[in-house]
Amino acid sequence: MLYSLLSPAETKEAGGNLPPVNPKSFIFPTLYEKRLELLNKFENYKKTLSEKELLEFFELKTLDERSEYRDNVFELATQKAILRYSGVAYKALDFYSLPQSAKQYIFENTVIFSNLFGPLLAKDEVPNYKLKQGAKIEGVDAAKHYKKEFSGALDEMFEGCEIVDLLAGYYEKFYTTKVRTLKPKFLKGGKVVSHNAKEHRGLFLREIALSGARSIDDVMNLQIKNLKLVEIIEKNNRIEPVFETDFF
């Protein structure tokens, strides 16, 4: 089996039509209490903030009285994680336009690392929230917390499988892969793509889902439009294919 790892997005869709957060909302229900540790700290901390401090915490200039960010995260309606996020990579993935088989593939085979909720399957259910990358909650570093508490469960889930790592650099702090892992790199004119890297990752995941790839070899055999393989760097169980792109 092949899993893909994906970063979350700062921009999110509001609302939702699924029940509020509960133990059935996420993978690893036996570790729900470990998620609650951070969620409770998040809510308790919000309550201590003045209006000005709340704006600073959320990095916003204004905050509507009706904003969901004001509400208790445990009381908000949820939505499947892959539909909650709406950043550049998710727009490139264009989930709604995928055939049902590819949607189901994404639901079951994509793990998203949330700053607040930790590792999520794409089908897990999360409310609308805002927590900037790297923010500490009452002194707790979310990346360190989730790496410590969830790495064992992730290791078990990934045992005997392979991984496509589409994480941005910061989110590699949440988990270190132990199995054979593909980490694609994209070049434009011989230089590493930075500004458009998120879009490339979303497009790459889309092609994987459309193909129903079951292994790294399946991914390497894909003929992806606008990508030309120029080099493969291998070290231990890590494979870094380097693609020259003529996107943009």
pLDDT, one tens digit per residue, over 93-140 is 999 999 999 999 999 999 999 999 999 999 999 999 988 888 888 889
Question: For 35-89, what is each residue's pLDDT tens digit?
Answer: 999 999 999 988 887 878 777 877 777 766 557 777 899 999 999 999 999 999 9
For position 245, what pLDDT does the model report? 85
In this structure, are residues 163 and 156 in contact, taking their beta carbons and an 8 Å threshold?
A: no
Q: DSSP E strands: which ranges in the chain?
A: 2-6, 78-80, 110-114, 118-121, 125-127, 136-137, 140-141, 162-166, 181-182, 185-188, 191-192, 227-235, 238-245
pTM of the model: 0.93
**Which pLDDT score is estimated for 60?**
75
At residue 195, the pLDDT reads 66
Q: How far is the C-alpha of 237 from the C-alpha of 228, rounded, in Å?
A: 23
